[in-house]
Amino acid sequence: MRTDTFWSWTICIFVFIVLSNYSNTVHAVINSKNVSRYTCYNCDGNCDKPSTCDNAIVCYSYSVIDAYGFASFQRGCLDKKDLQYFMCKAKEYIPEKPNTGQYSGVCCNGDYCNNGSFPVLTPHTSSPESDAASDSVVKILQFIIAPILVLFLILAAVVFILRHFHKRRMASLVSHNDLENIYQDEFKGVVTDDSNLKDIFDYSVTSGSGSGLPLLIQRTLARQITLVQCIGKGRYGEVWKGIWQSESVAVKIFFSRDEASWARETEIYSTMMLRHDNILGYMGSDVTSVNSCTQLWLITNYIENGSLYDYLNDRPLTAQEMMTIVISAASGIVHLHTEMFGTDGKPAIAHRDIKSKNILVKDNRTCVIADFGLAVTHTQTTGSTDVGENYRVGTKRYMAPEVLEEKINPSVFESYRRADMYAFGLVLWEVCLRCLTGGIAEEYRPPFHDCVPSDPSFEDMRKVVCVDQQRPVIPNRWSSDMTLTSMAKLMKECWNHNPSARLTSLRVKKTLAKIAAADPKIHLDF
């Protein structure tokens, strides 16, 4: 019997209700000069003496009743149009079943307009008949099902112990180079403990960052989304196109064994001030059960064009499109790598898995960075580097020499940023390969396509990158194009064998802007 099925029958469904205050994130750029800004009342729970918040597009008031019937209230500011859209459109949820959280809200325009009464909610009440029925169910559970559960718990403990010793025995028989593949096979059937999920969810999903929907709406997302089509599969799970409130969303569904990646990505997306035009927009995370199997959902904006990898395979690029793609992608990496100081600051973040499949292309050809399951954060004030508890590794084809040689210093955050820039240099090569000059462009090829197999091992990449110190070949036709010649020089500085000699993300972005400005055919409007 699969242990994940066992846990699905034995672990009770947890209801997660955590209400948090929204931080008032002050954005340096206002999207439109014609949008009015208001001052609103701000409170959470105790609204007898509310404070105030500024720079709001709309003010809001919410009434909330959790699954235990406890009522609370919120007032506050919404300073972003996307937050206004999601909160004010999904302003009410009244479930049909009892013992389920419900909420109702009102959005308004004007200074202190949210000073009125709160929306009235009527909690579910149970009848004497339903109480009697509940008592009967409890007795059945106690005297009939409980002994069966105890037996299953004993069997689960035995399975867990056997797996533990089997993993240790296998680890002692193989070399370090083969350990990763065996580790993946060993954990294909490991169950996800729902108590751990609850702890992680309660800890990592916050509503104070402005990087998604309010917590209350996030916790009901899975019930409100209709999955339409599977649009991608990977080692972590699947990506589905879904419909929420008549709008398209992307739902990343993680395998239960990859819980650490889901938790890490949720934590990173909830980081203060992460929202950026070139970072994939985050809506929320949820834990749901489908056919008695626990699923970990991460909901983001839906990007119609898909990944940069798919986009490059489908069509060649003009110089204008090429520079729009690379400059916008560099802008996203700059935002990740930069630490922002202050009360509502942001830690520096290293991605650790930069590649064309983790960069998505929007309709205007600008890009967003996605997939933060391996990200590392660093706070300069405390000097702490948080690597997370994720045992996944990055994509071998894009690994920097120091990573392949296992010489990277995990306690020095700058080493992670330098590894990101090596990978971005390879992405630059992929994009430039598809740029037209004289009506000609090479077919798409991944980096090192002529040196290693389609799924290279650590040893394959170590020999090519570290021992032979090879890099992707620069086509001869680039030498006749001023822009591509400059791009070739830039990517070589990014994939330098010496990490300290590589350019920073900010330097790369500025250099790309200079290259674009020197080409009269390129006119950037972002």
Contacts of 259 (CB under 8 A, 6+ apart): 192, 196, 197, 200, 296
Q: Give CA–CA dist 56/37, Å, rounded.
A: 5
First to last CA, the chain: 55
Q: CB atoms < 10 A from the CB of 403, how many? A: 25
DSSP assignment, residue 113? Answer: G
Place of tokens 């591509």: 484
> Annotated catalytic residue: which of 4, 66, 79, 353?
353
Residue 194 appears among annotated catalytic residues: no
Is-contact 82 27, C-beta < 8 A? no
Positive or negative, the CA dihedral 340, 346, 352, 356 is: negative
Is-contact 266 202, C-beta < 8 A? no
Q: Give CA–CA dist 387/125, Å, rounded.
A: 47
Q: Give CA–CA dist 350/342, Å, rounded.
A: 20
Q: CB atoms < 10 A from the CB of 509, how many? A: 19
DSSP assignment, residue 476? Answer: G
Is-contact 378 348, C-beta < 8 A? yes
Is-contact 374 390, C-beta < 8 A? yes
Ramachandran assignment for 72, one of left (phi > 0), alpha (psi -120 to 50 degrees), beta (any other): beta
As annotated, the active-site residues are 353
